[in-house]
Structure 1
Amino acid sequence: MIAKRTGTFLALLLLAMLVVLPLLFVGWKSIWIKGTLDLLAPIRTVLEKNLTGVFSNSFMLGIWVVLGSTLLALPLAWIMAKTPLRKHRWLDIVLLIPFMTPPYIGSMGWILFMQPRGYLEQFFPSAHWISSHFFTLFGMITIMSLHLFPFLYLILRNAIAQIGGNKEEAAAVHGARYSYTLRRILLPLVFSSYVMGALLIFVKTLAEFGTPATFGRRIGYFVLTTEIQSSISSWPVDFGKATSLASLLLMACLLLWYVQSVIVRRHSYNLVSGKSSQGRVMGYRGWQRAVAWLYVILVLATAIGIPYFSIISASLMKLRGNGLAWTNLTFKHYGELLTWGSPSMKALTNSMGLALLAACLAAALGTWFALTIGRGKRLPERITDMFSLLPNTVPDMVLVVGLIMLWNAPWMPLHLYNTYGMVVLTYVVFFLPYTVQYVKARNGQLDESLRQAGHVFGGQPLYVFRRIVLPLLLPGIIAGWMMTFTISLRELVASMMVLPPSMQTSATYIFAQFEQGQISLGMAMAVVSVGLTTILLLVVNNMNSNRKWNVE
């Protein structure tokens, strides 16, 4: 018992150092001005520096992206939950591709397709008028909605699928028309799920950096994340402005998380019970089937087809000015990219090394934290669980600012800022929740009798853990390792903010090549990065599926 309490205390201390202290540092620095405490300092800084427009831009963008995601996700969720198309479960996997694609890569693909003399104009010269309308706030909303809608789609589809057909049948027996059933029964039952998904998308939009940095700057639409990055990365460095914006962004996101929890708690219903109730499948005619398939195909074409067509085409072009033609295609950019010793190859190997270190550290720490949390019955364990999930609930930009200020503080004995270790630490903090959640879920499936049986037959605690518990936890550890590795491999926010000078990763290389006009090399790197992560995910998934993990 003493050892368990000591382990919990050490886990809490480490999490406080890695996650909580940087966030407190941001809040404290924003209200401690020139040796005096000023609680209104962040608001005053925003007003004095005329940053109210940045706030309104961020919040308006969030509202519009929620609306755009709803228009895309709601019909799709209905089709995939209530029509015969729901038997095509492979569509759920395909629809996750936009969400798994890094936002900055997707937005670059859209820019290449829609810009003047872009791919759209090369296919349809009369469509030049679309470019001027696309490179506006409307285009930015479209790109971000197409990236985030799968998140809302999965939540809504699962909520709709859980509504048993008996509820609709009961309404029909009492003479209700379908429109009345939809308005008074179905919509209220999915309301809490929709609010949860909508607020999550709103928070993700506020915290998004990739699309505002690529597309937003091009149209002159600046938001909180790009202003924070500019304050720290551009001379003169303005930490006061960065911490003020970061603290207000953090407060807004935490407030939205609280609002979401209140609404979900008040409007949640038990839809799954011991009594079997199959969901009702809507019958539809031939033309309705065609319309449903047409909608699904259009969504897939715009969310996946257009950006990936642009990315792959740009990576194969000899000269951009010659446009799309078979004679203008080449693989030389991939040869240059993968030449040993080239800047692109150095950036790729840097990403691989950083991601490998971060994934191993996150897997080890996450497993320790998950085992410390256990069933989460005691208050210290619940606090440990909450601290471990904080990186998933606060914007990445805020956390980066806190880590920079903490590890660059004069009193800090270990100065990690501007070192290789700072990048690894940032990746670990960012993606630690993945391993914690995967391992915690796996650990919750293990019956205590497994450990007890090992002790009964004379096994020491370390032996029982090594020979019984660890092999059963391995799938969760591998899943957390893979998520950390794949996302770290193409992480942009942390890489741009904390990389040492003259060092590049695949993400910063893509971003820099796009900004400097070397688009073919940048897009070749994007194809290689996405391809590598996809192949690794498929290999690990295949290994896990071929090996039986028995936890009974």
Structure 2
Amino acid sequence: MNINSLRSFKWVSGGLALFILTVLVLLPLLLIFWTSIYPNEQLDIAAPLRTIMSSHDLVEVLLNSIGLGVSVILLTTLFALPLAWIMAKTDLGHHNWLDVVLLIPFMTPPYIGSMGWMLFMQTGGYMEQFLPASSVLTPYFFSYGGMVLIMSLHLFPFLYLLLRNALLQIGGNLEEAASVHGAPFFYRFKRVIIPLLLSSYGLGALLIFVKTIAEFGTPATFGRRIGFYVLTSEIHKYISSWPIDFGKATSLASLLLGVCLVMWYIQTLISSRFSYLLIGGKGTRTKRYKSTGIVGVLSWGYVVLLLLASIGIPYFSIITASLLKLRGEGVSWSNLTLKHYAELLSPGSQGLEALLNSFTLAIVASSIAVILGTWFALTVGKGATFKQKITDLFSLLPNTVPGIVIVVGLILLWNARWMPIPLYNTYWMVVLTYVVLFIPYTVQYVKASYGQIDSSLMQAGQVFGGSKLYVFRRILLPLILPGMVAGWMMTFTISNRELVASLLILPPSMQTSATYIFAQFEQGAVAMGMAMAVISVGVTTILLLVLEYLSPDRKRRQR
């Protein structure tokens, strides 16, 4: 293949990738804006805002969403900042297994964690069975504060990782310089540590805010219980409940998207204002305090309490509920059974069908996403042309936009009367939705792997007579395979637990494990729903561990 042919191929491949991303990602979002500003076949740019302001309930919903996002940021900060300091500045950070355990809350589907907390704290729940006097706490928990607590316990690992990595980069020399000049600990923390953390904290706080106002599972379970409604639950109501009102749904979706874009702009300003160079030629030296005495007691106590609240209580409730014969008889050895698991996994049961649907949908969507994501990542490559930057932006856009907004846009696009492809309300519509929502993971992982490869390796293969296909198969593919495997695993995990897209997109009479759990909990069949949760999370975890064991990256690390 000569140089001109190669350039022509790359140009066509890049153009096709950009076209596909435009159709899959950008067009659905544009349709949301167009539908919201073109009601009754008349252009009205202020229509979305007028729709919100004309209803007191919708204004309250908007304020609820923004207030919830800010409150979760504050409580998440209280959880994550001390934990990040403990893991970065004390010798507890040498316990690598803690980092793995601390990711469990984030990998747990939020609606399952919410259900676990509700079972534990409700009237007659597990806490009251063990400590009857604790019933006085129930009204305080089933409130706005309880909802903030549940969502913060789910999201704090995300902020913790960002802050811990930032603290490790700061090193101990800066603190020591301030200490030499007589600065006490809290003064050093206020004048040295906090300013250097602001850039990373701004990004983490933004992502926490976006994930909070985009979350559907917790508002749909706990929020409905306490009568607290947010934008995502209202969008779902207008699309899934009669009478269907796409006008209000698109107005709320466009407003939700606008709030997220404003937050992205604010974060950009914060990052540009508080960015510092912390890594230089002299390197950095991290100062760690010994976790002995009062420091050790407080550090270990804080970590244990946080793990107990974020993992212990929800999973205790989930597993216990799945084993109870009768909920009214309480927790006792004579009231435990495995019959719910046997019924769930019996041939022909709705539960087994839902479980198989989840895994087949996740496997198919992950496989398609890893192929497309690898293509997009290689198209973007290391270049800096305008087309490559736009392709990169479009490929990562679903990761920065609330999922329910993308889903609404996909419904508008593929259910339009002018759409020639009858994809809506089919199995493949679900696959397409999962692919669009989670393709950024493969793009990010493959880009990270590809960015570390020196182009001289491919050039050497060509010099020694290797064809483009041979170089790709024997040199490039093995080097980017770890990124592809990581992207596949992440897409599979999140697709398998996806709730809001499944509720809105699934064809009639088709269920996944997520919708099955949600439906059983709503209908009062808690034991069956929790058994499904245990099986779904357990099987997914085992599969991911097997893939990690077989991954080429792990084998290379062992050599």
TM range (shorter): over 0.9
Does residue 218 (structure 1) correspond to residue 256 (structure 2)? The answer is no
Q: Distance in 1 between matches of 2:40 and 2:498?
A: 35
Shift of 1:525: 0.4
Shift of 1:284: 5.8
Match in the other structure for 1:39: 45
Q: Alignment identity in percent?
A: 64
For residue 27 of structure 2, the aligned residue among 21, 32, 40 is 21
Contact kept, 8 Å, 1:472 with 1:549, in 2: the verdict is no
Q: Deviations over 1:212-249 (max 9, x none)?
A: 00000010000000000000000000000000000000
Q: Distance in 2 between matches of 1:223 and 1:359?
A: 30
Q: Deviations over 1:22-77 (max 9, x none)?
A: 00000110001222211100011112233100001111111111111011111111
Contact kept, 8 Å, 2:25 with 2:436, in 1: the verdict is yes
For residue 523 of structure 1, the aligned residue among 527, 530, 533 is 530
The one-letter amino acid of 1:35's match is E
The one-letter amino acid of 2:203's match is M
Matches within 5 A, 1:83-482: 83-283=90-290, 285-482=292-489
Q: Deviations over 1:383-412 (max 9, x none)?
A: 101100000000001000000000000111
Shift of 1:547: 5.6
Q: Distance in 2 between matches of 1:169 and 1:356?
A: 51
The one-letter amino acid of 2:500's match is V
Shift of 1:276: 2.7
The one-letter amino acid of 2:504's match is M
Secondary structure at the counterpart of residue 551 of structure 2: helix
Shift of 1:463: 2.1
Q: Deviations over 1:469-495 (max 9, x none)?
A: 112221111111111111111110110
For residue 539 of structure 1, the aligned residue among 543, 546, 549 is 546
Shift of 1:497: 0.6
The one-letter amino acid of 1:195's match is G
TM-score, normalised on structure 1? 0.98
Shift of 1:172: 2.2
- CA 1:549/1:55 → structure 2, altered by over 3 Å: closer, same or farther? same
Q: Distance in 1 between matches of 2:477 and 2:484?
A: 9
Does residue 30 (structure 1) correspond to residue 26 (structure 2)? The answer is no
Contact kept, 8 Å, 2:482 with 2:552, in 1: the verdict is no
Q: Distance in 1 between matches of 2:450 and 2:553?
A: 21
- CA 1:301/1:431 → structure 2, altered by over 3 Å: closer, same or farther? same
Secondary structure at the counterpart of residue 422 of structure 1: helix
- Once the two structures are overlaid, the 10-residue window that deviates more, 40-49 or 318-327, is 40-49
Shift of 1:261: 1.5
The one-letter amino acid of 1:537's match is L
Taking only aligned residues, the RMSD between alpha carbons, in angstroms, comes to: 1.3
Contact kept, 8 Å, 1:115 with 1:131, in 2: the verdict is yes
Match in the other structure for 1:7: 13
The one-letter amino acid of 1:236's match is P
TM-score, normalised on structure 2? 0.97
Does residue 513 (structure 1) correspond to residue 520 (structure 2)? The answer is yes
Q: Distance in 1 between matches of 2:134 and 2:374?
A: 54
Contact kept, 8 Å, 1:196 with 1:264, in 2: the verdict is yes
Contact kept, 8 Å, 1:376 with 1:385, in 2: the verdict is no
Contact kept, 8 Å, 2:291 with 2:297, in 1: the verdict is no
User: After the TM superposition, which parts of structure 1 deviate over 6 Å for at least 4 consecutive aligned residues?
Assistant: none
Contact kept, 8 Å, 1:103 with 1:210, in 2: the verdict is yes
The one-letter amino acid of 1:28's match is W
Secondary structure at the counterpart of residue 64 of structure 1: helix
- Once the two structures are overlaid, the 10-residue window that deviates more, 237-246 or 289-298, is 289-298
Match in the other structure for 1:67: 74
Q: Distance in 1 between matches of 2:372 and 2:487?
A: 11
The one-letter amino acid of 2:505's match is V
Q: Deviations over 1:363-399 (max 9, x none)?
A: 1101111111110321111110110000000000100
Shift of 1:546: 7.5
